Chain A
């Protein structure tokens, strides 16, 4: 029983960061329809930004986190303006190739600047874990969980309750109609990509101190983000959130009760099963016909 409870606590914490990754990608892949292979690179960008600002420049950890997210936002905006704007109207495969190129350049760039050896970031949180009965959880992970939940809440409100969110949804449903209604299309594209990127950067900056920061950290993150988006259904924030937690649960219980050797396979097994029965994912946004 204790073991199960510990697995569930682990799932919640891991799941919250998976959800953050998934939401960022669902905005870009699900709504904008850009197959963003560079999503994992924005995740590692966030982690390295935190390392640079927090460790090398010595800024306060919490401030450094915020700066890392803002930098991620700018990086996303830059990618959109430089790489994707000229590709507007190009088909999905062309932009996909562009993003694969961006991924390779970014990952090698990170390797060039920071070297291949992993970096670690220390945090102001106490090293001794919080112990409740037989369950232990580190303060840092607890903070990551809370921060991730807050960001998930903010993104939900942003998309569903603000004018910007409404303009975003309108633009990607029907670009021409939205444009005729006075929506600044170019800005919306840039903003959506930037928000998605900043969420990836936030996940990286939050998880960097939990794990270690390396140029390859984005590979698995990218893969998992795609899995979560597909599991939850394209474009659905709620779907990506639940998808994130489900993936974490499958990994955690799979490793705990089946075999730790197949930990990463468990998540993908679940996805195959879900897609067999619900090919559009669990919570697909209704496709607009015509």
Chain B
């Protein structure tokens, strides 16, 4: 009796397994790994990027998918933590067998993932990170669509004269992104005979920057260059206002989500200036107005807060970049996708996506050069200034 029971269980199991296999084969999708911070200090930004990625995936699938198959985003949370980001990459590559990844938002997160890409020879489209190190360290699996801080700084050079900055202090997040920005912007400023004063650091989880701001308040600088993501930036603006700081605040890095700043920091956001890589407030001024309008329409239709659009478009463009490469590669395999990424040339929401070679010869990384906008918050409204 016992034996019969065992046999029946065995048969049932086998049947269950074969159906599982059959459905698996029928619905075989092209998997794209998404490695983003959905919790921790960068949760807001990571979530926005993922929302944009989903819009892109749905758009592609609605048009029939890729190579006759649907695409499937395998989204994993790296918890704003470099160790987790590397573990997530390992899991996506070895567990889910994704042929390509988009990620990992922050520079320190991306840098932690990079050795895994080399190890498994899987390409990654970097959608947000801006540390210059990412494309100059000789990792040929990196394709970045966001501007490194050196490019941001170079483009800022053209805008600087109109601001009349004489001396600037820096307040930056304590990671590769923040320190890299302080270095790159500092270099450009010194070359323009602008004095660089303090470089103050804030921990990525810090909520109270009053001490740093009190120190900056006491200097004779006229401008504070701030680099961090929207949550900490909100606190910086509120705390600067509370300390009665009237210096000009210019932020870099493209993760400011100005609408969220206005909503959460209120009047404290007034007068602050932000270097962003997307101008959803003026769709007609973006390189591909039709695509911008479609994206913003979808964003609204899904009930997402409009504040996230400046960050989210990178997720949208990142997935479109990957899909474009897979289509041209003709197969969803890492090596073929890597080759195809090199010949990418299509209009993103913020300029042509086209990878230039960067880094040591023979093992270059790809870098696309997006546009840059300087916006200013005036009376809790966003005004486009500069180019």
Q: In the bound complex, do residue A211 and residue B235 qualify as a contact, i.e. CB atoms below 8 Å apart?
A: yes
Q: In the bound complex, do residue B47 and residue A260 qualify as a contact, i.e. CB atoms below 8 Å apart?
A: no
Given contacts A6-B217, A111-B39, A260-B202, contact A211 B44 (CB under 8 A): no
Binds B, one of A23-31, A136-144, A168-176: A136-144
Whole-angstrom CA separation of A122 from B268 in the bound complex: 13
Secondary structure type dominating chain A contacts: helix
- Interface digits, A86-128 against B, CB 8 Å rule (1 contact, 0 not)? 0000000000000000000000000100011110101000011
Q: In the bound complex, do residue A117 and residue B242 qualify as a contact, i.e. CB atoms below 8 Å apart?
A: no
Whole-angstrom CA separation of A264 from B208 in the bound complex: 11
Given contacts A116-B40, A263-B206, contact A255 B211 (CB under 8 A): yes
CB nearest neighbor in A for B202 = A260
Q: In the bound complex, do residue A10 and residue B210 qualify as a contact, i.e. CB atoms below 8 Å apart?
A: yes
A217 at the A/B interface (Cβ < 8 Å)? yes
> Which residues of the other chain, B, contact A251 by a CB distance below 8 angstroms?
211
> Which residues of the other chain, B, contact A252 by a CB distance below 8 angstroms?
210-211
Kindly provide the distance from the CB of A47 to the nearest chain B CB, expressed in whole angstroms.
11
Whole-angstrom CA separation of A219 from B205 in the bound complex: 10
Given contacts A127-B267, A131-B244, contact A7 B43 (CB under 8 A): no
A287 at the A/B interface (Cβ < 8 Å)? no
Contact of A136 among B38, B244, B266 (CB under 8 A): B244
B136 at the A/B interface (Cβ < 8 Å)? no
Q: In the bound complex, do residue B205 and residue A220 qualify as a contact, i.e. CB atoms below 8 Å apart?
A: yes
Kindly provide the distance from the CB of A123 to the nearest chain B CB, expressed in whole angstroms.
11
B214 at the A/B interface (Cβ < 8 Å)? yes
Whole-angstrom CA separation of A140 from B241 in the bound complex: 12
Whole-angstrom CA separation of A10 from B266 in the bound complex: 22
Given contacts A6-B243, A129-B243, A211-B235, contact A118 B39 (CB under 8 A): no
> Which residues of the other chain, B, contact A111 by a CB distance below 8 angstroms?
39
> Which residues of the other chain, B, contact A162 by a CB distance below 8 angstroms?
none
Given contacts A136-B244, A215-B39, A216-B39, contact A260 B44 (CB under 8 A): no
Kindly provide the distance from the CB of B243 to the nearest chain A CB, expressed in whole angstroms.
5
Kindly provide the distance from the CB of A5 to the nearest chain B CB, expressed in whole angstroms.
9
A273 at the A/B interface (Cβ < 8 Å)? no
Q: In the bound complex, do residue A118 and residue B214 qualify as a contact, i.e. CB atoms below 8 Å apart?
A: no
Q: In the bound complex, do residue B215 and residue A3 qualify as a contact, i.e. CB atoms below 8 Å apart?
A: yes
Q: In the bound complex, do residue B214 and residue A7 qualify as a contact, i.e. CB atoms below 8 Å apart?
A: yes
Closest 10 CB pairs of A and B: A116-B43, A136-B244, A138-B242, A255-B211, A116-B39, A261-B201, A3-B218, A211-B207, A6-B214, A10-B210
| A/B interface sample: 18 pairs, CB < 8 A | A6-B218, A118-B231, A127-B268, A128-B241, A128-B267, A136-B242, A138-B242, A141-B242, A212-B231, A215-B39, A219-B205, A259-B201, A260-B201, A260-B211, A261-B201, A261-B203, A263-B202, A263-B206
